[in-house]
Structure 1
Amino acid sequence: MTALVYAATLLVAFATACAYAADIGYLAPPGVAANEFPSPQRPVARIVSSRRSAEERRDALDEAGQIARVLELKPGMTVGDIGAGSGYHTVRLSYLVGPAGSVVAQDVTRDYLIELARRTELLKLPNVQFALGEPHDPRLPASSLDAAILVHMYHEIAQPYAFLYNLAPALKQGARVGIVDLELPTSKHGTPIELLRCELTAVGYREVATHKLAGDGGYLAVFSPPEVAGRKSPRDIVACRDPAGTR
């Protein structure tokens, strides 16, 4: 009997996972292909986990609150959690934007999004959408986001120039992009701030401000997206050189 119950439990879990997977896909047609852009002239860190560190520790440092205040996130907004992983920020953003707002949890790893869908269902968070992306393209609808956050994942983007270029159309006029990372080489799961500035500027983003986060949270760099009329051609983007010591 125990074996039958165990088997039934596995079948239910499998069916549930399949149901979540069926609902998770691309939210927009493909953007510009990766091979249209220059390759990054620095290492790309591999994705090692959906979770950066214990959520309790991040809460103690008020990581989500610091980001929300700097980006002036408010109820009713639509915010993209790019590279959502286990959903630390997705969950907190869901409460912040409220029922009139929404959170788009985006990731390139479908299994992470399936687990996050389970989590948000248990927490009864109906204002969360899920968006599967590609390493060079977040695949998000045009003019859909009031803000986007990329937290401790920028160094894992395999084609940053293409990714940033394809992200830009999803941002509304006046939107802000907040990037959190550590002042470490990309090979050690950080991004030196000067390299970050160079890569975003190369695609046409403009730096608004940079803030140091509490504890060991690194920095929060805020950018505005390129103006539609002034967007560069992908072929005109010049890759940033890897500064000494980032390897």
Structure 2
Amino acid sequence: MRPDAVAAAFAAHPRTGFLPPEQRPQAAHDGPLPIGHGQTNSQPRTVANMLRLLDVAPGMRVLDVGAGSGWSTALLAHLVGPQGQVHGVELAPELVRFGAANLATTQQPWASIVTATPGVLGLPAQAPFDRILVSAEPATLPQTLVDQLRDGGVMVIPVAGEMLRVVRHGSKTEITRHGAYRFVPLR
């Protein structure tokens, strides 16, 4: 990924358009902002760090777990371009509607947000994915998401307060740690 690709995605899809109207005046705040239903729009610096760790390239198939407001889905769609695909999943139906409506304004039809199936992490029927971004925090690394990566695929996920970059190599994983972070729980 070009070093400026993430900055270009941020410039093309400002956070403001992915916040509830009452939160929009706070869009420049470098912290999480509530979007309802116990969820937040993540801190911009954290989102940028995660996207850089994910190293998304044009044409990739990406899964966005915890799509929320649709901002991360839109940023990922910008990075993969029209030759790629981004599949966002979100558990709260109200947020699916909110995020999908926000995403629709970006005119990136190669990206979508759907309601997650309760009790099922990710989209196993759509796997494998080149990249998986997880914007909610489990207590342990979910093997079900690792299994949805293609060989050589990368997942960035906060686990038990620590950001992990997971690379799948067949039945083995390479895990690197990238600092302390706090996220809403993965349900």
Q: Tell me the TM-score normalised to structure 1 length.
A: 0.48
CA RMSD of aligned residues (A): 3.1
- Paired residue for 2:116, among 110, 133, 136? 133
Mapped to 2, the partners of 1:86 and 1:124 lie a distance apart of 16
Distance 1:110 1:95, change over 3 A: same
1:201-216 correspondence to structure 2 within 5 Å? 206-212=173-179
Q: Which has the higher contact order (CA 8 A, sep 6+)?
A: 1
Specify whether residues 103 and 51 from structure 1 end up closer, same or farther in structure 2 by C-alpha distance, changes over 3 A only. same
Q: Which residue of 2 aligns with 1:170?
A: 148
User: CA-to-partner distance for each residue in 1:186-214, whole Å, 9 max, x for gaps?
Assistant: xxxxx244xx98xxxxxx8734211137x
1-structure distance, mates of 2:137, 2:172: 15
Structure number with the higher strand fraction is: 2
**Structure that is richer in helix per residue:** 1
1:78-157 matches, cutoff 5 A = 78-138=61-121, 140=123, 141-151=125-135, 153-155=136-138
Q: Distance in 2 between matches of 1:66 and 1:81?
A: 15
| Identical pairs, percent | 23
Does the residue aligned with 1:154 lie in a helix, a strand or coil?
coil
- Aligned-residue offset at 1:142: 4.6
Counterparts of 2:83 and 2:60 in 1: how far apart (Å)? 8
Amino acid at match of 1:114: R
Unaligned runs of 5+ in 2: 1-35, 165-170, 183-187
Does the 8 Å contact 1:90/1:103 carry over to 2?
A: yes
Separation in structure 2 between the aligned mates of residue 86 and residue 205 of structure 1, nearest angstrom: 33
Conserved in 2, the CA contact under 8 Å of 1:77 and 1:101? yes
For 2:59 and 2:81, how far apart are their aligned partners in 1? Answer: 6
Distance in 1 between the 2:174 and 2:158 partners?
Answer: 13
CA deviations 1:205-239 (Å, max 9, x no partner) are 734211137xxxx28xxxxxxxxxxxxxxxxxxxx
Q: Distance in 1 between matches of 2:177 and 2:101?
A: 34
Q: Given residue 150 of structure 1, which amino acid in structure 2 is its aligned partner? A: V
Partner of 2:40 in structure 1? 51
Gaps of 5+ in 1: 1-46, 182-190, 198-203, 220-247
- Gap change, CA 1:169 and 1:142, over 3 Å in 2: farther
Q: 1:129 to 1:52 in 2, by over 3 A?
A: closer
